[in-house]
Amino acid sequence: MPDPHDRSVASALKTVEQLGVLTDRLRAGTSPINSAYRVVIRSLRGNLNDTHAIIDALQTLEDSVKASSRGFYERAALIGLAQAKRDLKIYDLGEPEPIQEDGVQAAVTSALSLVEAQGDKVMSVARLNMGDELILGDDSRQGILTPTPILTEIAFWITGLSVLLYLSSTKKPGLDLVRQAVAQIDDNTTQTCLNVHGQVVAMQEDFHLTGTPKFATDMRAPPFHRGCRTAVAIIRRDFVKPEVTGKMRKEAIAQGKKPKPSARAGKAHFKVVGKSVQKFRGGRWHRYKAYDTNIDARTAAARLNEAKRS
């Protein structure tokens, strides 16, 4: 049977995987937020000279983002709470604290502020009659009214709320606990998360971050950058096993030595095909053909670009 340290790390990895699935649902073309933007953009084509139509469409968009983001945030909080239950059970420390609504509401407010800023810009540009394409975009580019920054903000809070709920739910005064960073190790892991994977700090101590990207050099908890896929594991100090941490560090170092897919292929895809880099990095490009790995997709995109040049 795995020892407590191993089980805590496995629990954190399970959380990262569940958050990844949730983020994939958020960014999917059929997600409620992407769908809401498509509906609003479609309703405004040819109607940008109608102020009342713009106001109504923007209000509908805000309502959709508010409801949808709350659903994603509440799910993320439950994932963090589930990790807390698993880990407290490992060390027989009782039940976690209940979910704090304040964090969810703050995250919703953050996403809505971006939608409102988009709306203000849309109204200003529409008054100047600068063209529908600038606001709504076209087949080759995004306009002002785009879900991309909203999705990025919600993805940030999905990780942040999960970690916040986990840490607040596992507070046990009087116990000697430590925290360990646990990253999802694969071809998409950033240098920052490779470097911090396995790092152990005290409960009130910051993780020290090296590499890029990162928000700061010293941070209390993930997300350490946009798109961060690192969780935290709470471990009793007397159960920490150096060999478990050593195995984690070897895994990160080995991954760091693997050749990275060329970013140039991604740019070539964007120029030739006219699809977003986000869709491309998701393993799909020209005519939405699917590939097993990002490397396969990027290689195919690079070949397409070479064929276009020749």
53, pLDDT greater than 70: yes
Q: How sure is the predictor about 191, in pLDDT bands with cuts at 50, 70 and 90?
A: very high
For residue 19, the surrounding DSSP H or E stretch is: helix 4-27
Average pLDDT over residues 224-251: 93
Backbone angle region of 287, left / alpha / beta, with phi > 0 → left and psi within -120 to 50 → alpha? left
Task: Look at residues 59, 77, 70 and name the one whose alpha carbon lies nearest to residue 105.
Answer: 70
Average pLDDT over residues 136-149: 85
C-alpha angle 305-307-310 in degrees, rounded to nearest 5:
115
pLDDT in the model for residue 307 = 65
Q: How sure is the predictor about 41, in pLDDT bands with cuts at 50, 70 and 90?
A: very high
13, pLDDT greater than 80: yes
Task: Measure the CA–CA gap between 274 and 35, rounded to whole angstroms.
Answer: 20
Q: How sure is the predictor about 266, in pLDDT bands with cuts at 50, 70 and 90?
A: very low
Average pLDDT over residues 282-305: 58
130, pLDDT greater than 90: no
54, pLDDT greater than 50: yes
Average pLDDT over residues 79-93: 90
Task: Measure the CA–CA gap between 208 and 192, rounded to whole angstroms.
Answer: 10
Arithmetic mean of pLDDT over the chain: 84
Average pLDDT over residues 213-229: 94
What percent of the chain is predicted at pLDDT more than 70? 83
User: Where exactly are the structural domains of the chain?
Assistant: 4-257, 263-309
Here the tokens at position 6 are 């191993």
66, pLDDT greater than 90: yes
pLDDT in the model for residue 92 = 83
pTM for the full model? 0.78
Average pLDDT over residues 94-105: 76
Here the tokens at position 248 are 């984690």
Residues 286 and 307: beta-carbon distance below 8 Å: no
Task: Look at residues 246, 90, 229, 108 and name the one whose alpha carbon lies nearest to residue 170.
Answer: 90
287, pLDDT greater than 60: no
pLDDT in the model for residue 293 = 61
268, pLDDT greater than 50: no
Q: How far is CA 103 from CA 6, 74, 107, 114, 250, in A?
A: 30, 10, 6, 17, 35
More confident residue, 297 or 183: 183
pLDDT in the model for residue 306 = 67
More confident residue, 204 or 309: 204
More confident residue, 5 or 267: 5
pLDDT in the model for residue 9 = 94
pLDDT in the model for residue 199 = 96
Task: Measure the CA–CA gap between 82 and 182, rounded to whole angstroms.
Answer: 16
Residues 6+ apart with CB under 8 A from 237: 176, 177, 178
pLDDT in the model for residue 57 = 92
Average pLDDT over residues 116-141: 86
Work out whether the CA dihedral 26, 28, 30, 33 comes out positive or negative. positive
pLDDT in the model for residue 297 = 67
Q: What are phi and psi of 197, to 5 degrees?
A: -55, 120
10 Å Cβ neighbour count for 202? 11
